Structure formats: C-alpha cells, structure tokens
Amino acid sequence: MKLAVYGKGGIGKSTISCNLSLALAKRGKKVLQLGCDPKHDSTFSLTGFLIPTIIDTLQSKDYHYENVWSEDVIYQGYGNVDCVEAGGPPAGAGCGGYVVGETVKLLKELNAFYEYDIILFDVLGDVVCGGFSAPLNYADYCLIVTDNGFDALFAANRIAASVKEKARTHPIRLAGLIGNRTSKRDLIQKYVEACPMPVLEVLPHFEDIRISRIKGKTLFELAENESDLDYLCEYYLSIADQLLAQPEGVIPNEISDRDIFQILSHFEVGDLSHSKRSEGDHLKTNLTEEFSWS
C-alpha cells in the first residue's frame, strides 16, 4: 500500500506521517517513509537527525546510479521504520516532481521500492502543480491533513481536485481527512457536507505532540517512558487500522473556489459576528448600568 500525505504548509503533516508510519509498523508492517520536501525534515522524529537526501547522494556520485547502494540513502528510524529524504532542487530552479521521480527510479534500481508493505510519501505543503502532485502517480490513497480553519480547508479542496484529476488515469483514491491541532470540527463538518469524504480522525491541540517533534522523537518513543501518552498514540493506531482495512476511498467532487469561499467564510464570519454581537450586547448592558445616572 502506498500513501501520499498532503495538506497546507505547517499543518503538521510530518509529525502525523512519522507517528502514522510507526503505528503501521506497530501493526506488523514493513514501512518506508519518503520525505518529499527540500527541508528534508520529514523523518526527523523517526531518526533524530536530518538524513542525507537522495539528490545530495546522487550529486556526490555524479548521478551514476550504479554507484549508489541502499545503505547510502535508506536509514533505519525508530521502530524499524525505514526513512528516505528525496530533497529538492536548488531554490528557484528545477522541479520537485522531478526529484520525486528520480527518488522512485533509484529505489526501483535498488530493488527497494517493492520490498515494503507500506510506503508513505510526506509531500511538501499545499502545492498542487503537476510536479508536486507526482506522488499521486504512485499512491493508492491520498490523506489530507487540515485544521478547522478556512485556509487549510481551502488547500484541502485544491488537493481534492488534484486527486480527482489524477484518478482519471491512476488508481488513486482519497482515504479521507485528518483533522489536526483543533478542538473544534464545525468548519471541517461544513466542508465534508459540501464535498463528501471520510474524516479519519480529529486530533486536538496537544502540547505533547509539539514537544515530541522538537525532541526529534515520535509519541510512541516518548510513551515508552511516559505511559500517560499512550492515549495519544491511539489516535494514530486508529488511522492505521482504518487504512489497513483497505477502505474503498472516494474520488472527490471538489467545490469551486467561489463556493468554498462562500460556504466557509460566511460560516466563519457568521460565528464571529454572533460572538461580536454577544460581546457588544454585554458591553452595552454594562455601559447602560454604569452611566444610568446621566
């Protein structure tokens, strides 16, 4: 099974990817996580350091694939999850999609691409150009990480549109949304009502998750010494179990930019206006009481 994790930049894809990869490994699967970001920090929580990228390694070998060995590019992380970082082209030059393609090509040359039960692509930001939608060419399922805000859901809708387009020629399906760092899900619910798709899990904003990322560890590793974190690991195990059940998935019917703006911004502004009105009424009451002598 091949998974492609997308979402707005900074939404927490890499943290979710590392913990999900480990959850899948905990279920007995042989897992490879493939970072597709020039920052090459996707696998940091699994390895504890920034591993060399495929592009760096190929450059050092003058792009002689025959001189590259598996141990040059594949690093074992915590829980026996194997890790690869594709890297990226120099700033302002080249295409990230080309880098992903070269990474897959090299892994096939090394006979590694088909050795895993699960390959998880952790994909840069919310870019949905032809280059950064390249992992969808290889994936069985796309997972979209979002929060309960307009910007992230707007990006999610664009990604859903990419899945729909790729599904014309590839067997890709959308497994669903993963809500992250949010105590609410009202906008998420509003969106999936307009654009039906599964919601796999919604993770509240846990400080322990942020701390684990800073420490370069997964929650599962921290939970070995802090049993009170076990309940957080259950969120990722739940997602893993849903994926291992091989869901049918969906080909999403994305909604237009105009419609999503109207649906989500009006809903959000409506809530804000209601809150402002309540605050205004409360202030008006206080002022009336305070200045009733006049």
Task: Give the distance, in angstroms, between the CA of residue 107 and the centroid of all CA atoms in the same chain.
Answer: 22
> Is 67 flagged in the annotation as binding?
no
CATH of the domain at 46: 3.40.50.300
Do 155 and 213 share a domain, yes or no?
yes
Residue range 156-173: average pLDDT?
93
- 95 annotated binding-site participant: yes
In this structure, the strands spanning 75-76 and 2-7 are unpaired
Per the annotation, the verdict on 241 as an active-site residue is no
**pLDDT value for 42:** 93
Task: Evaluate whether residue 24 is within a structural domain.
Answer: yes
Annotated catalytic, 2? no
Q: Is 195 annotated as a binding residue?
A: no
Q: How far apart are CA 77 and CA 60, in angstroms?
A: 23
Based on the fold, state whether residues 281 and 170 are members of the same structural domain.
no
Tell me what pLDDT residue 125 has.
67
Is 126 among the catalytic positions?
yes
Q: Mean pLDDT across the stretch 141-156?
A: 94
Assess contact for 16 and 43: CB atoms under 8 A. Answer: no
Note whether 268 and 132 are same-domain residues.
Answer: no
Work out whether strand 75-76 and strand 173-179 pair parallel, antiparallel, or are unpaired: unpaired
Whole-number pLDDT of residue 278 = 47
Domain region containing 261:
257-289
User: Tens of pLDDT along 229-268?
Assistant: 899 999 999 999 999 999 999 999 888 888 888 887 766 5
**Tens digits of per-residue pLDDT, 16-71?**
999 999 999 999 999 999 998 878 889 999 999 999 998 888 888 888 888 899 99
245 and 262 together in one domain:
no
146 lies in the same domain as 281: no
Candidate list 26, 29, 39, 61, residue with the active-site label: 39
Instruction: Report, as an integer, the average pLDDT of 198-208.
Output: 90
Same domain, 166 and 232: yes
Which one-letter DSSP state was computed for residue 31?
A: E
Clarify whether residues 14 and 24 are in a common domain: yes
- Whether 198 has a pLDDT exceeding 90, the answer reads yes
Quote the pLDDT of residue 96.
66
Q: What is the pLDDT of residue 272?
A: 47
The answer to whether residue 96 is domain-embedded is yes
Cα–Cα distance, 208 to 231 (Å, whole number): 12
* Catalytic annotation, pick one of 37, 41, 82, 126: 126
Catalytic residue among 2, 8, 190, 217: 8
Binding residue per annotation — 129? yes
Domains in the chain, number:
2
Q: Is 39 annotated as a binding residue?
A: yes
Q: Is the pLDDT of residue 273 over 80?
A: no
Model confidence band, residue 164 (pLDDT cutoffs 50, 70, 90):
very high
Q: Which of 13, 166, 190, 217 is catalytic?
A: 13
Q: Among 247, 245, 240, 246, which Cα is nearest to 24's?
A: 240
pLDDT in tens, 68-96: 999 999 999 999 999 999 987 666 666 66
pLDDT over 90 for what percent of the chain?
56
What token pair was written down for 197? 């798709």
